[in-house]
Structure 1
Amino acid sequence: MGNENNGMVRSHEFELAIVYRITDLVIIFSTLVMLAWWRTGHVDSDFQQLAIGLGIVYLIVAESFTLYRSWRIASVKQQANTTLSVWLVTAAVILAINYFLKASDNYSRIVFAGWLVITPMLLIVWRIVFREILGLLRKTGYNTRKAIIIGVSETGLRLQKELTENADLGIVFKGFFDDRDALRLSDDTQYSGKVRPVYQALELAKRAKVDHVYIALPMHAKSRISSYLKQLSDTTCTTFIVPDFFTYNLIHSRWSSLGNIQTVSVFDSPFRGFTSVMVKRLQDIFLASVIITLISPLLLAVGLGVKLSSAGPVIFKQDRYGLDGKRIRVWKFRSMKVMENGGKVTQATQNDPRVTRFGAFIRRTSLDELPQFFNVLMGSMSIVGPRPHAVAHNEEYRHVVDRYMLRHKVKPGITGWAQINGCRGETDTLDKMERRIAYDLEYIQAWSLWMDVKIVFLTIFKGFVNKAAY
């Protein structure tokens, strides 16, 4: 029994969930106690009641986010993002309750603010440490699961590589199964390893000799997949279908339902659902409000410089594409003698005669972009996202750059992943635009709150002044 199961497998999921819940509550309570003791020398009843209330709300929110599910096959980033989202929602609920009850004066603001900031970091750090410990244990054979793959396909081979190279997942690969002859498999996939017939895989599943079965057959093998699923339904194995369309470069694909019909999105936005939209929007409002307050003297100075340096309005509003390709008006300090906003917009070039002397300075230092923080407050833009292009440029490049319009699956940003990687200024060659779009799509695929923070931080040092910004 010990050798067959290679350690305790299923029974530990419930136990680990209990460990997570208890540890989370201990961190939440102990962090508050230590901060309160450090600040005031005691923990009064108001803070005790607050801690109990926050702990209850946290557990309820955590359940709605399925925070205590198994994270064995999920990434550290996914687990960290979910933990942070749970904390942000919990904090928002507690802040709202205290606001309406007018109870915020009962607490030390320093303690409360420190608690809200430090606790989520500790919740994430302990999860990372715990994952590492579990990973080390799984590498020794403890708490592992055995997996087989039906279908020697490109997808199946990629899956095998992931399983064998990531032993900390605790999923032990036990072999390929396929009914195609060896010569055909070698021609199709260049695979020459041992492959057993599928009926043996089904027998192993029925005898509970394996825990995970991955079906990695092409989509046109519908009848075979249906047959295998019917037989596997008579087992206790966890069965996965890994369709071959996941080999394509998708943008935030996800399962969803249309009535009683299951669908999978191929190109989607990372900002679907209440949590991600709320986190992104709150981040934008907070940062834009703080930045506008800090740079208000600079805004006045630049505005005055534009007015005195040349005739015309201070603010130039240009039509650009926003979220889902809808037109928005983007604000900029005017830097040219002309204000092109029609079907033909010529990009600024080096020593462009249309650019005023003061305009050249504010373009080179990105000061002309500062009014866009008001676009962020109004909701048409975000602090971080793909830079918006003039409508005329969108219509030009959407026909020649592959997947160009997918950059509009998110709001355009004041700064972005492409900008901090050097993609600024004139795109006088197709290669430059393709490189910019590649970075934009990479941002959409990899988006997280931490990535936004990283981009904002790097923008301070390398995103403002650029020799390519004419």
Structure 2
Amino acid sequence: MIGAPRLDRDYRIAVLGRLTDIAVLLITADLVFLAKFHHLVLKPQYEILLLVAVLFMFLAFPAIKVYDEVRGQARRFIVARLFNGYVFLGVFLVVVLFMSKTSEEFSRVWLFSWLIASFLGSVLIRAVSAPVIDRERREGRHSRTVTLLGTQRACIEVEQKLKEADSSGYVVYEQYLLDDESPDTSFLLSGERPERSSALFSTDEVWICVPLRHGGVVTDVLNQLTDYAGDIRYIPDLSGIELLNHGVVNIAGMFALDVSCSPIRGTNYLVKSLEDYVLSTGILILISPLMLLIALGVKVSSPGPVFYRQERAGWSGKPFSILKFRSMAVGADQSGLRWGRAGDKGITRFGAFLRKTSLDELPQFINVLKGDMSIVGPRPERVQFVDEFKEHIPGYMRKHLVKAGITGWAQVNGWRGDTSLHERIEHDLYYIDNWSLWFDFKIIIMTVLGAFFDGKPNMGRMSGR
């Protein structure tokens, strides 16, 4: 047989990953304890907590699919699952300490430093081992043979992508090309092409590559491959369909293909919320003296309230009241709605300074604490303009699959203020499709660097007010 099952290699890699993570957990506990207390031997209560952590990692990490690596999968997904696992571990340990009323017996610095060091150690091990595994697969070792069965266009596209991702270790051994209009699979077991049917049964996997409109072919193939012992996968031809954060989910026992969905769900929602609440709280504490000075400057420069409130479209298109330091004279925005020309709307002299430096955006960290916004995300627009833009800009409403942000991928790339809406939407959708905690941190860092090197933060400059 050409393709005897090769799951043993992938299984060994998964087992090795679990063992190394446990080893990292044990080693970093001692090293962080040594750095903190200058003593290598853990105290008894620390040893008990370490044992609890190891048991949680051994039992829970596989359950939350930390080790469910798929060949050819992007590294960021592997790191994201690992991060989720350590977040769950940290939350679990904190709950255990408070429930057992023993939290005062442990150093919080040690606990959080230990978890961070363990996570970084696990990531480092994967970063070192990944090139070795990739090289072996490129050289043809531990590869898995695949039979493609589908329309010509779909099979060619799949084969091309496998060639580009040669480190995945998949090798196309055979192809069965079906007619684009009326695919017929009756020949598979008819005996008309016995040599090819034999090849089909000797590969590790069969991938069915047909358009969604020919979904019945999948059933036909499965009925004819009841004696096949390898993996069978359905790869629908989705060319022409614009996908956003797509994937497969199980709903009420039914498999559903996510075509355009928000990435901020489940554990991602927890991670994103923690990021927003922790960072916004810390930032508001740090900038509170500056905000008091700005508030005083607004009151002195012109009569009226300190804050300016305006309705904007947020997550799922629902309106919320955005906060800014008032930069216009009271009543200057009553002359009618206009998009753009932000510098021609009764701005005060002090307000012009605030806008130039984006300091008028600082109260939006309060919006973040309220849950209306995120620190990173697409910039929100006025509801009235949303109704207009969605009619002329394809995919405009899909930017509302996540919370609106103070800064975003479009802004740090220069698409802010009175710039191309089409370019902004493309960047916003790219952010949604590629969201991760690390992507958020990258955007935050780019925003801060922009404040130092460009003279002002790359926060969104909103128009229409």
Provide TM-score, normalisation by structure 2: 0.89
Does the alignment pair 1:455 with 2:425?
A: no
Does the alignment pair 1:404 with 2:392?
A: no
Within-5 A mapping of 1:160-179? 160-179=159-178
Does the alignment pair 1:27 with 2:15?
A: no
1:100 Cα deviation from its structure 2 partner = 3.4
Does the alignment pair 1:366 with 2:358?
A: yes
1:372-399 per-residue CA deviation (whole Å, 9 max, x = no partner) reads 1111111111110000111122112111
**Sequence identity of aligned pairs in percent?**
31
In structure 2, the CA distance between the partners of 1:177 and 1:349, relative to structure 1 (3 Å rule), is same
User: Take 2:99 and 2:362, find their aligned partners in 1: how far apart are those partners?
Assistant: 35
Q: Is the 8 A contact 2:377 2:428 kept in 1?
A: yes
Q: Is the 8 A contact 1:316 1:339 kept in 2?
A: no
**Residue equivalent to 1:211:** 204
**Residue equivalent to 2:244:** 251
User: Take 1:339 and 1:16, find their aligned partners in 2: how far apart are those partners?
Assistant: 66
User: Take 2:18 and 2:457, find their aligned partners in 1: how far apart are those partners?
Assistant: 47
Amino acid at match of 1:94: L
**Residue equivalent to 2:261:** 268
User: Take 1:357 and 1:203, find their aligned partners in 2: how far apart are those partners?
Assistant: 81
Within-5 A mapping of 1:17-416? 17-39=14-36, 40-42=38-40, 43-180=42-179, 202-206=197-201, 209-245=202-238, 247-273=240-266, 275-338=267-330, 344-347=336-339, 349=341, 351-416=343-408
Amino acid at match of 2:17: Y
| Alignment coverage as a number of residue pairs | 447
**Residue equivalent to 2:434:** 446
Q: Is the 8 A contact 2:314 2:404 kept in 1?
A: yes
1:155 Cα deviation from its structure 2 partner = 3.1
1:36 Cα deviation from its structure 2 partner = 1.2
- Describe the SS at the equivalent of 2:379: coil
In structure 2, the CA distance between the partners of 1:64 and 1:395, relative to structure 1 (3 Å rule), is same
Q: Is the 8 A contact 1:364 1:465 kept in 2?
A: no
- Describe the SS at the equivalent of 2:117: helix
Unpaired segments ≥5 residues, structure 2:
183-191
For residue 10 of structure 2, the aligned residue among 13, 28, 36 is 13
- Describe the SS at the equivalent of 2:347: coil
User: Take 1:294 and 1:78, find their aligned partners in 2: how far apart are those partners?
Assistant: 33
- Describe the SS at the equivalent of 2:161: helix
1:287 Cα deviation from its structure 2 partner = 0.4
1:198 Cα deviation from its structure 2 partner = 8.1
Deviation >6 Å, runs of 4+? 340-343
In structure 2, the CA distance between the partners of 1:98 and 1:311, relative to structure 1 (3 Å rule), is same
Provide TM-score, normalisation by structure 1: 0.88
1:126-183 per-residue CA deviation (whole Å, 9 max, x = no partner) reads 12322221111222322111012112443322211121122221111213221449xx
1:342 Cα deviation from its structure 2 partner = 8.4
1:224 Cα deviation from its structure 2 partner = 3.1
In structure 2, the CA distance between the partners of 1:77 and 1:246, relative to structure 1 (3 Å rule), is farther
In structure 2, the CA distance between the partners of 1:467 and 1:79, relative to structure 1 (3 Å rule), is closer
Q: Is the 8 A contact 1:62 1:68 kept in 2?
A: yes
Q: Is the 8 A contact 1:216 1:243 kept in 2?
A: yes
User: Take 1:244 and 1:38, find their aligned partners in 2: how far apart are those partners?
Assistant: 55
